Amino acid sequence: MVSVAFSEKYFESLLKLTPNEQSQANKAVMLFQQDPQHGGLHYERLTAFKDNKLRSIRANQDVRIILAAAEKENLYLMLYVDHHEPAYTWAAKRKVEVNPNTGSLQMFTVEEGVLQNPAHQPMPPVQAGLFDAIRDRQLMQLGVPEETIPLIRSMKIEADLEIARDNDQLPPDAYEGLFMLMAGASFEEAYQETVPTVPDKVDIEDFSTALARPESRAHFAVADNEQALQEVLSQSLEKWRVFLHPAQRRLSTGDKNGPVRVLGGAGTGKTVVAMHRAKWLAEQLAEKQGSSEGQVLFTTFTRNLAADIQQNLNKICSQAVLKHIEVVNLDAWVVSFLKKVGYDYGLLMNAKEENRLWNDAYAEKPASSDLTVAFFKEEWARVVQPQSVTTVEVYKKASRLGRGTRLNRQQRAEIWPVFERYRHLLASNHLKEADDAYRDARKLLEANPDLRPAISSVIVDEAQDMGTQAFMLLRALVPEGKNDLFMVGDGHQRIYGKNKVVLGQCGINIRGRSARLKVNYRTTDETRQLAVSVLEGVAVDDLDGGEDTQAFYHSLMHGPAPEIRCFDSMDEQAEAILVSIEDNALVPEACCVIARTRKEVTELKHALESRQQRCHLLDGRSTRTPDGALNLATMHRVKGLEFDAVFIASVNRGLLPLDFVVSAASDAVTRRQRENEERALVYVSLTRARKLAFVFGYGHMSPWFA
């Protein structure tokens, strides 16, 4: 019996084989683990190749598995599988080594000479090298293998670095440091970010130790016993389940000494980290069978997302571990908690009902004031609710920082009855705003510690859309200390601006425990760049009163630039959507047509259905899209989702930004915030695309895409 690990490449190559060949390869690996010397496997040393550790075994007459042997350790790394010829061609120039500087396990190709790179052929010979300012020793500290230094020195333009990565001429962990340098980071920044922990002494013969490092685990999966092997081979090989980025792995495992905040642009795997964190925490609880330490509460913003997360957790956790995780959207949790303790009211979720109550309360406004209903709604959401203001005396002293209209104490006293009336109307209708419900629940918990549910850790996804009261409740739910709170979010995706939060003001201290993910695993770099450009110049917060940045945020995949087109009519737009689906051989159920308003979505649906295209409206009830149906949704609905292709449709002047929302703002500051939210909606929508994005409008295009 030997230990076996798999490279990410192995799975990629396995998936290219026929199902029958895949099953033969799996059988060969299982047999190999039991008995490497089994005659049927033809275990063979590959001589005259770059790496003398390489071996091959047979999956069938023609299919060969290439592996690297660390025989002293009884450890074998499955690297690649293919038909005989291509398998050996692949293996000829590969090396698998423990990097002497970083201690990580690296696989790369060694080419004679420098880049075979067409990208910089036309460049003048005198052009400076991309990394001239960095010494060889520093390059090696970043994990660049010594043999690849000449290649690095031959790089002149950005594309050279990407080509080297795509040709496997650079190990991925070394690429990351080089990418940061190229994008303007200092050596120290790149080093700290990509090589955060270096072992004191690296033993380049010790593959097992190297394999345990997070950098190695990003590209190698270990299966050191038969059960683990069966699990790895039986999985449907979704990479996020196994190959975590080193930053993702560091965040998701190990004890944390207090609240952790993880930021990251769209698609950087924040939800994946949150799920793996939940799994790790629940595993610790499962190990302490019978302990009364409680559950992991995984909260997110909407019911749909909670359902998605539950499904994905089912894929990575055993039943015993799942028992320790409760996934729920916070609104549902709070309503059920309050019901249990005898409170009986619903949450105010309906915008029409909300407007009706506000119009009624507005009658209390003094005749002398010309403040609009919109002003009162904003004041309520940004001042009254976040600061839990319930009396006129407190309101007179409340901080109104960031509000565009000045109000002295007397004016505040004069308008206070509007808020009082609104609160009264809520109560007499047996309704609460979510913030009120969160506050009630928190106060109950603070006054009656016995009511505290047995929760040992809280995980928060989409944290940017949770407000102050939500975080204060979460703080009250779980005792301060080890592994208490783990929050992932992205201020760039805040589409409910009233919920902006400063964690420190909610009693959540994240100092020294925050991280930022930078690799977008979902979207092509072309789509990502367009999405980011829509937010250019918009200051984005880091959920704790500071500013966030998208520096070094990048995608590893490339594709065509998003197609931006303006049509004469809605009909032409609908036709173009269907033509694009056909021309790009897209599957309708893996695509989504996204528009700013429900009205536009409805019209698009009619236009598409009148062309015999079946449609599926994403409306918050989590149902599977029927085969052949095309998804349709508003921009707010697609948060957290992803599709092969997205059609951002009806990107018309007046609809983006949505005129009536922006112009209803009562002052310039609010107007700017609203416009930023409109931009965030476009950012969210574009970054749902895995492969292709289309930006379509009709009549006059939005000024952002004109």
Ligand X SMILES: Nc1ncnc2c1ncn2[C@@H]1O[C@H](COP(=O)(O)OP(=O)(O)OP(=O)(O)O)[C@@H](O)[C@H]1O
Burial class (CB in 10 A: 0-12, 13-18, 19+), 621: exposed
C-alpha–C-alpha distance, residues 104 and 172, integer Å: 11
What is the Cα Rg of the chain in Å?
A: 28
Q: Which stretch binds ligand X (CB under 6 A): 11-19, 111-119, 235-243, 553-561?
A: 235-243
Report the candidate in 147, 144, 151, 168 with the shortest Cα–Cα distance to residue 9.
Answer: 168
Cβ-based nearer residue to ligand X, 82 or 490 = 490
* Residue from 9, 95, 516, 522 binding ligand X (CB under 6 A): 522
Cβ-based nearer residue to ligand X, 527 or 687 = 687
C-alpha–C-alpha distance, residues 383 and 379, integer Å: 5
269 is in an annotated binding site: yes
* Residue from 193, 541, 642, 675 binding ligand X (CB under 6 A): 642
Helix or strand (DSSP H, E) at 222? strand 220-223
Minimum gap (Å) between residue 682 Cβ and ligand X = 13
467 is in an annotated binding site: no
264 is in an annotated binding site: yes
CB 694 within 8 A of CB 577: yes
Q: Which stretch binds ligand X (CB under 6 A): 39-47, 266-274, 657-665, 673-681?
A: 266-274
Cβ-based nearer residue to ligand X, 371 or 684 = 684
129 is in an annotated binding site: no
Helices within 288-329 (DSSP H only): 303-316, 319-322
379 binds ligand X (CB under 6 A): no
CB 56 within 8 A of CB 91: yes
3-state SS, 418-477, equals HHHHHHHHHHHCCEECHHHHHHHHHHHHHHCHHHCCCEEEEEECCHHHCCHHHHHHHHHH
Spell out the residues 6+ positions from residue 443 whose beta carbon is closer than 8 angstroms to its own.
none
Minimum gap (Å) between residue 599 Cβ and ligand X = 26
541 binds ligand X (CB under 6 A): no
Minimum gap (Å) between residue 566 Cβ and ligand X = 27
C-alpha–C-alpha distance, residues 381 and 336, integer Å: 24
Size of the site for ligand X (CB under 6 A): 21
* Residue from 240, 419, 552, 643 binding ligand X (CB under 6 A): 240
Cβ-based nearer residue to ligand X, 456 or 555 = 555
Residue whose entry in the numeric block shows the structure tokens 């063979």 = 44
268 binds ligand X (CB under 6 A): yes
* Residue from 148, 248, 631, 666 binding ligand X (CB under 6 A): 248
Q: Which stretch binds ligand X (CB under 6 A): 29-37, 244-252, 322-330, 669-677?
A: 244-252
Helix or strand (DSSP H, E) at 64? strand 63-70
264 binds ligand X (CB under 6 A): yes
* Residue 657, preceding peptide bond in cis (omega within 30° of 0): yes
Minimum gap (Å) between residue 163 Cβ and ligand X = 21
3-state SS, 158-208, equals HHHHHHHHHCCCCCHHHHHHHHHHHCCCCHHHHHHHHCCCCCCCCCCCCHH
C-alpha–C-alpha distance, residues 576 and 564, integer Å: 12
Cβ-based nearer residue to ligand X, 272 or 383 = 272
Specify which residues 208 forms β-bridges with.
none
Cβ-based nearer residue to ligand X, 273 or 503 = 273
Q: Which stretch binds ligand X (CB under 6 A): 171-179, 239-247, 345-353, 380-388?
A: 239-247
Cβ-based nearer residue to ligand X, 423 or 554 = 554
Minimum gap (Å) between residue 177 Cβ and ligand X = 18
Minimum gap (Å) between residue 239 Cβ and ligand X = 4
SS3 content of the chain, % helix, strand, coil (to 5): 45, 15, 35
Minimum gap (Å) between residue 242 Cβ and ligand X = 8
Output phi, psi for 80, to 5 deg.
-165, 150
Strands, DSSP E only, in 475-530? 485-489, 514-517, 519-520
Report the candidate in 49, 31, 51 with the shortest Cα–Cα distance to residue 41.
Answer: 31
Q: Which residue is nearest to ligand X (CB)?
A: 269
468 is in an annotated binding site: no
Q: Which stretch binds ligand X (CB under 6 A): 240-248, 434-442, 582-590, 643-651?
A: 240-248
Neighbours of 549 (CB within 10 A): 12
Looking only at residues 480 through 509 of this chain, which bind ligand X when binding is defined by CB under 6 A?
A: 490, 493
Cβ-based nearer residue to ligand X, 156 or 270 = 270
* Residue from 65, 134, 210, 266 binding ligand X (CB under 6 A): 266
271 is in an annotated binding site: yes
243 binds ligand X (CB under 6 A): yes
Spell out the residues 6+ positions from residue 117 whose beta carbon is closer than 8 angstroms to its own.
154, 159, 160, 163, 164
602 is in an annotated binding site: no
C-alpha–C-alpha distance, residues 595 and 681, integer Å: 10
C-alpha–C-alpha distance, residues 649 and 658, integer Å: 14
Looking only at residues 662 through 701 of this chain, which bind ligand X when binding is defined by CB under 6 A?
A: 687
* Residue from 245, 277, 423, 518 binding ligand X (CB under 6 A): 245
Minimum gap (Å) between residue 642 Cβ and ligand X = 6
Q: Which stretch binds ligand X (CB under 6 A): 117-125, 162-170, 261-269, 586-594?
A: 261-269
Which structure tokens are listed for 292? 């009364």
244 binds ligand X (CB under 6 A): yes
C-alpha–C-alpha distance, residues 376 and 399, integer Å: 16
640 binds ligand X (CB under 6 A): yes
272 binds ligand X (CB under 6 A): yes
* Residue from 171, 269, 562, 657 binding ligand X (CB under 6 A): 269
Report the candidate in 94, 10, 3 with the shortest Cα–Cα distance to residue 59.
Answer: 10
Cβ-based nearer residue to ligand X, 64 or 528 = 528
* Residue from 49, 187, 521, 567 binding ligand X (CB under 6 A): 521
Report the candidate in 69, 178, 291 with the shortest Cα–Cα distance to residue 554.
Answer: 178
Cβ-based nearer residue to ligand X, 374 or 590 = 590
Q: Which stretch binds ligand X (CB under 6 A): 177-185, 262-270, 570-578, 630-638?
A: 262-270
Spell out the residues 6+ positions from residue 11 whose beta carbon is closer than 8 angstroms to its own.
237, 239
Minimum gap (Å) between residue 625 Cβ and ligand X = 17
In which region does residue 290 sit, left (phi positive, over 0), alpha (psi from -120 to 50) or beta (all else)? Answer: left
Report the candidate in 568, 562, 623 with the shortest Cα–Cα distance to residue 594.
Answer: 562
Cβ-based nearer residue to ligand X, 500 or 522 = 522
* Residue from 26, 271, 329, 702 binding ligand X (CB under 6 A): 271
Q: Which stretch binds ligand X (CB under 6 A): 156-164, 243-251, 323-331, 651-659?
A: 243-251
Cβ-based nearer residue to ligand X, 496 or 521 = 521
Q: Which stretch binds ligand X (CB under 6 A): 31-39, 160-168, 263-271, 325-333?
A: 263-271
270 binds ligand X (CB under 6 A): yes
546 is in an annotated binding site: no
C-alpha–C-alpha distance, residues 591 and 547, integer Å: 34
Look up residue 505 and give its DSSP letter: G
What is the binding site for ligand X (CB under 6 A)? 239-240, 243-245, 248, 264, 266-272, 490, 493, 521-522, 640, 642, 687
Known binding-site residue numbers: 264-271
Residues making up the binding site for ATP: 264-271
